[in-house]
Structure 1
Amino acid sequence: MSFSEESTEVKKINYRKSKKNVSKVITNYERKLMRVKAGRQPKITQSFKLELISTSNTSHSSTEDAAIYNLEGFREDLNFIDHVNDCLNRLDLEDRQIIWYSMFQNLPNIQVAEMVNTSYSNLLIKKRNAIELFAIALQCEVYFS
């Protein structure tokens, strides 16, 4: 095989594994979204402990734990949420709707087809293409070896 033939060869995406990875990303997205929405608030009720407070500062109060999460974990969660949103917004409108209704909302294909105003058989083709594009955008696609 010459160099020009090798460079134009397109790798084939493993749809099942890529879809599984996209599902994992969406599950992770939903969990992080819930954590961000819920926030992490310090406990404001007073609690008493019989043990002495450590002088080595190894023990953290709930206020300190909440502050640490708000500085470190919250930012990580927001970055991940923004990344997934950006990847979804890069898709064209129809692909975005198909991904949103079928993957995020878990609606049945027949209902998604009605919402997107396409036939059921066309939806299956478009859905496969949309999931592959979304996997590529998320960089979680899997190729056949």
Structure 2
Amino acid sequence: MTVPYPDPAIIALLTTLPGLDEIGGRVSTQLDSTLPAIRVTKVSDREAPVSWEATPIYQIEVWADDEFQAGALAWAIKNNWPTAKRAVVLDALVHGRWVDTDPISSPDPETELPRFLITVGIRLSGASS
């Protein structure tokens, strides 16, 4: 069994979380110029319990036009991310999800746009057909 590339799975999961209707699918590894938007970046990996699983850690950046909107979206991720258990998402079987760090306000130093950061993890393997 092969381990799928995790970026598409995490993007797909984030687009379906409750409370993120305002995002309208603007979740990517690149920042969308239309706000609000979410950018995901893989920052590390934890050791997987078995060789056919992966446990990547992602930093999620929530961008919006105002701090209240960015904060509400970031907390919606924190509150809804770990609730789903096993699920098939694209070509991945998601075994678990967790929040590593709570959302923190971190306005962009160049543009001063509101931005919240939250770090999450996911444990996945390839979905068997």
User: Do the two structures share a fold, i.e. TM-score over 0.5?
Assistant: no
TM-score of the superposed pair, with normalisation by structure 1:
0.27
Structure with higher strand content: 2
TM-score of the superposed pair, with normalisation by structure 2:
0.29
Relative contact order, higher structure (CA 8 A, sep 6+)? 1
